[in-house]
Structure 1
Amino acid sequence: MLSVDDISLYYGAAQALRGVSLEARLGEVTCVLGRNGVGKSSLMRAIVGHRPIAGGKVELDGRDISRLRPYDRARQGIAYVPQGREVFPLLTVRENLETGYAPLKRKDRHVPPEVFDIFPVLKSMLHRRGGDLSGGQQQQLAIGRALTTRPRLLVLDEPTEGIQPSIIKDIGRAISYLRHRGDMAIVLVEQYFEFARELADRFILLERGEVVMSGGRKELEGDDVRDRMAI
């Protein structure tokens, strides 16, 4: 579904990614793990088109999308929930969700009912401003906005960061539900190891912009990945 092949990325003279490869398949969660500053968010920005890559390629369903702009990738079915959520603080919850209409055809411009099934709190807060929500509620809103675009690839950059434990459980259940639905690939950046281990079907571990470990769920059962994240 998604194939990232040997990509490199720079910020000026500083190299953030060095030959990184990753795959994400429908009905699976691929986790990107690592400590702060190792290139996880840079990899997400490369996937969704927010940062140009200097080498390698990004493919979606076998098509090279490396040079497509972010809005064209959104039209191809890629949705992004960035680190920090980035909801519109002065727009209502309803209006924030409706910003997800941008890549959709006119006939599809409505909020899917499953958004409110997954995050019922959003339905009760449709007329509240995004900036008045708690951090956990804003995270649910950001994911709901992404789901409004009907993505085939959902990219989540640290959705548990700064979130209370009860909301983390809600987000975990939502990701599990979307995975089991089987028509979406999910790429999840995460530092909370136990959360990642519970959800991941496959993973890569980054250090200094390079993949130093990768594998499936079985490799996450040991302590090797946890130990490297703690170094």
Structure 2
Amino acid sequence: MSEAIEVQSSPEATNPFALSIKGIDLHYGAAQALRNISLDVETQKITCVLGRNGVGKSSMLRAIVGQHPVSKGRILLDGADVTKAPPYARAGRGIAYVPQGREIFPQLTVRENLEVGFARLPRKQKFIEEEIFELFPILKDMLSRRGGDLSGGQQQQLAIGRALVTRPAILVLDEPTEGIQPSIIKDIGRAITYLKQEKGMAILLVEQYLDFCRELADVVHIMDRGEIVHSGPAEDLDKPHVRHHLTV
């Protein structure tokens, strides 16, 4: 089936949200991982999803980027229904994914890892924008180093840089602070804020680091047992009844 058929136009094309998830369920065989998940990710806003381990946060992201089919509901990118579209079609509509664990290519150089992002770009755009090196200067210093030789924090910067090479409108990040030293967490936070404010990106961030979300997020959603149990502004994270959902 062609991309033109799989990515259908929608009467909601005027939707102000870059990404809308409407009542999705997701199953792994007989096990249900997501139940009636709905949320919106707005342009020039950071939307953070929090929750304990195993509540379905990564499953939700895999559904959004097309790595796992949903059992029910719809996923809209800029008003277009992409629920049945493959990952490459969603990438073609401007969504970029930084997975948990980074998934860089350890045997490729930093430059080659970044150039992987060229795949969806027209020939005239197949270059690494200098802005990426301004956000993450260490990448420019290590272009000839193998990805596997980088520290965990440097690999995370590389994974984000690779996503930015695709010139996305929507950036989806799965726990970018996991196992990262504090100084690099601050660098990543500054980069995310810049992408929101200066590039106008819609950013969906899954995290467990509460302070990171409190500092960056405009909107927060909290998940528990495959469902969203709270939605509201980032200031809600200081309320005891909201924090209760995040305690072990």
Q: TM-score, normalised by structure 2?
A: 0.91
Runs of 4+ displaced beyond 2 Å = 220-227
In structure 1, give the amino acid aligned to 2:208: Q
1:160 aligns with 2:173: no
Which runs of 5 or more structure 1 residues have no equivalent in the other structure? none
Question: Which amino acid is 1:111 matched to?
Answer: I
How far did 1:226 drift? 2.6
Q: 2:21 maps to what in 1?
A: 4
For each residue in 1:113-170, what CA deviation from the matched residue of structure 2 results, as whole angstroms up to 9, or x when unmatched?
A: 1100000000000000000000000000000000000000000000000001111111
Does structure 1 residue 100 correspond to structure 2 residue 113?
no
1:144 aligns with 2:155: no
User: Aligned equivalents of 2:30 and 2:140: distance in 1?
Assistant: 46
Q: Which runs of 5+ in 2 are unaligned?
A: 1-17
Q: Is the 8 A contact 1:9 1:18 kept in 2?
A: yes
- Report the Cα offset of residue 228 of structure 1: 1.6
SS of alignment partner, residue 148 of structure 2: helix
CA distance, structure 2, for counterparts of residue 226 and residue 113 of structure 1: 40
Q: Which residue of 2 aligns with 1:214?
A: 231
**Correspondence for 1:80 among 97, 102, 112:** 97
Secondary structure at the counterpart of residue 213 of structure 1: strand
Alpha carbons 1:100, 1:146 under 8 Å: kept: yes
RMSD: 0.9
Per the alignment, residue 128 of structure 1 pairs with 145
Residue identity over aligned pairs, in percent, reads 63
Matched, 1:37 2:54: yes
Q: 1:109 aligns with which of 126, 142, 145?
A: 126
Once the two structures are superposed, residues 27-75 of structure 1 have per-residue CA deviations (whole angstroms, 9 ceiling, x without a partner) of 1000011000000000000000000000000001111001110011111
Q: Name 1:224's counterpart in structure 2.
A: 241
Write the distance in 2 (CA, Å) between the matches of 1:57 and 1:103. Answer: 24
SS in 1 for 2:171: strand
Matched, 1:204 2:224: no
1:56 lines up with 2:73 in the alignment? yes
Amino acid at match of 2:114: L
Question: In the alignment, residue 90 of structure 1 is paired with which amino acid?
Answer: Q
Match of 2:202 in 1: 185
Work out whether residues 26 and 182 of structure 1, in 8 Å CA contact, stay in contact via their aligned partners in 2: no
Over 3 Å counting, the alpha-carbon distance change for 1:147 and 1:182 in structure 2 is closer
Q: Is the 8 A contact 1:193 1:226 kept in 2?
A: no
Q: SS at the partner of 1:87?
A: coil
SS in 1 for 2:120: coil
- How many aligned positions are there? 231
Q: Distance in 1 between matches of 2:159 and 2:22?
A: 28
